[in-house]
Amino acid sequence: MALTARHVSAVLCASALLGGAPAAPVAVAQPAAGSESPGDTIRTLTDQGFDVRINWVAGTPSNIPLSQCTVTSVNTSAPPAAYVSINCPPDGSQ
């Protein structure tokens, strides 16, 4: 069973009511590569407090919209940095 925000909230509330603290910090789920647009992925990670750093795997969005690019990987293993690898088509034809 996957932990959802609802489950995490319930555990934190129960812990607070019992006067204790959670045993370990609660991890926030990171976006899966390719599940969102690059802009949404960057925004989600920034909203979670990460300092997002972009690795341009191929191409750059200098002549095409970022929405035509795809996220190939997300790495949040070194907080507060999050590394997002983005692949853009060279001519905007995707």
Place of tokens 């995490």: 8
Q: Which residue has the tokens 């190939």?
A: 72
pTM as predicted: 0.61
Question: Which of 52-56, 62-66, 69-73 is predicted with the least confidence, judged by mean pLDDT?
Answer: 62-66
Greater model confidence, 63 or 52:
52
Residue 3: exposure state from Cβ atoms within 10 A (0-12, 13-18, ≥19): exposed
Q: In terms of Cα–Cα distance, which of 60, 25, 31, 29 is closest to 43? A: 31
